[in-house]
């Protein structure tokens, strides 16, 4: 009888990087389908081109640097899909190719690949495109036929993710399975809602599909956010404040993009100053029992 000797624990939770990444992709599928329904084939092409470019770029980069090819873990697909959802529907198809390549090469693999990224890869891609070709990245809403259902089906949408904020309900499942953290979205939403109330901003102009995407899928990206519990609250709150500031002086879309990127800069600092303090090490646990 041959027995395996290994260190404890001898059981592991049924969770893996593959599971987390593919679950996030699946959670984004409804909104992608809605976008295709509203914008037609052009949206489908954008999604396909983005995802394919992401997967190919990753495979080529890893082949070139003699690393194991990890396209099956779903991270490349997720980055491609997230980027696609941030595009307006009428862009030339070379735009997603450039954006995704910037995201994969400079934001993900230049820093060491999965787990080592400092800036959120999809947002780096979008930021690059917005600075380089600002006119192509905006979309004047075309009049469309059919009545809009607020938050469910918005014909006035200017970006793929905007078509249906409610279609991203899959994020709740991700929260329930703890695949994404709940602290960042909570403080993020609370801060945005509070500021909107204080500044008398129309909530429906803020809570667009892109913001929901930002809150649940971009701001919760694991590697680029703090690990401490308090740190994650601070991160979400910081994003919320920055979005409102951006929105007051620019557009909310820029706000979502740059606020998360700016807070990514502070991740290491937040982690350092919110590391758990020995003097209250038992407190949090004992309160629960």
Residue ranges binding other proteins (CB under 8 A): 1-13, 15-17, 19-20, 73, 113-116, 178, 181, 222-223, 225-229, 232, 275-276, 278, 280-282, 284-286, 288-289
Q: Exposed, middle or buried, 95 (CB in 10 Å: 0-12/13-18/19+)?
A: buried
Q: How far is the CB of 108 from other proteins (least distance, A)?
A: 12
* Residue placing its CB nearer to other proteins in the complex, 91 or 218: 218
Give, for 76, the enclosing helix (H) or strand (E): helix 75-85
* Residue placing its CB nearer to other proteins in the complex, 19 or 241: 19
Query: How many whole angstroms separate alpha carbon 79 and alpha carbon 144?
Result: 30
Contact between residue 204 and residue 249 where contact means Cβ atoms under 8 Å apart: no
Q: How far is the CB of 180 from other proteins (least distance, A)?
A: 9
* Residue placing its CB nearer to other proteins in the complex, 163 or 270: 270
* Residue placing its CB nearer to other proteins in the complex, 19 or 52: 19
Query: How many whole angstroms separate alpha carbon 35 and alpha carbon 288?
Result: 44
Q: How far is the CB of 276 from other proteins (least distance, A)?
A: 4
Contact between residue 170 and residue 30 where contact means Cβ atoms under 8 Å apart: yes
* Residue placing its CB nearer to other proteins in the complex, 151 or 266: 266
Q: How far is the CB of 161 from other proteins (least distance, A)?
A: 23
Query: How many whole angstroms separate alpha carbon 85 and alpha carbon 253?
Result: 12
Query: How many whole angstroms separate alpha carbon 28 and alpha carbon 81?
Result: 8
Q: How far is the CB of 281 from other proteins (least distance, A)?
A: 5
């Amino acid at each position: 009888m041959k027995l395996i000797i290994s260190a404890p624990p001898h059981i592991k939770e049924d969770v893996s990087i593959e599971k987390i990444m593919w679950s996030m992709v699946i959670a984004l599928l409804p909104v992608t389908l809605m976008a295709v329904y509203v914008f037609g084939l052009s949206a489908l092409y954008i999604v396909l081109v983005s995802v394919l470019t992401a997967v190919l770029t990753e495979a080529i980069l890893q082949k070139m640097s003699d690393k194991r090819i990890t396209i099956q873990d779903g991270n490349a697909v997720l980055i491609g899909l997230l980027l696609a959802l941030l595009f307006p529907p009428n862009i030339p198809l070379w735009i997603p190719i450039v954006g995704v390549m910037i995201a994969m090469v400079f934001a993900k693999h230049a820093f060491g690949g999965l787990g080592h990224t400092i800036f959120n890869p999809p947002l780096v891609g979008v930021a690059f495109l917005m600075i380089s070709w600002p006119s192509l990245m905006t979309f004047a809403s075309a009049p469309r036929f059919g009545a809009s259902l607020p938050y469910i089906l918005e014909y006035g949408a200017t970006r793929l993710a905007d078509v249906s904020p409610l279609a991203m309900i899959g994020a709740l499942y991700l929260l329930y399975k703890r695949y994404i953290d709940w602290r960042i979205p909570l403080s993020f939403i609370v801060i945005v809602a509070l500021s909107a109330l204080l500044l008398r901003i129309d909530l429906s102009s803020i809570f667009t599909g892109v913001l929901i995407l930002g809150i649940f899928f971009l701001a919760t990206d694991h590697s680029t956010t703090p690990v401490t519990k308090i740190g994650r609250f601070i991160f979400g709150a910081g994003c919320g404040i920055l979005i409102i500031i951006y929105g007051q002086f620019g557009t909310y879309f820029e706000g979502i993009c740059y606020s998360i990127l700016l807070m990514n800069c502070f991740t290491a600092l937040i982690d350092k100053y919110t590391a758990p303090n020995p003097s209250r090490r038992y407190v949090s646990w004992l309160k629960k029992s």
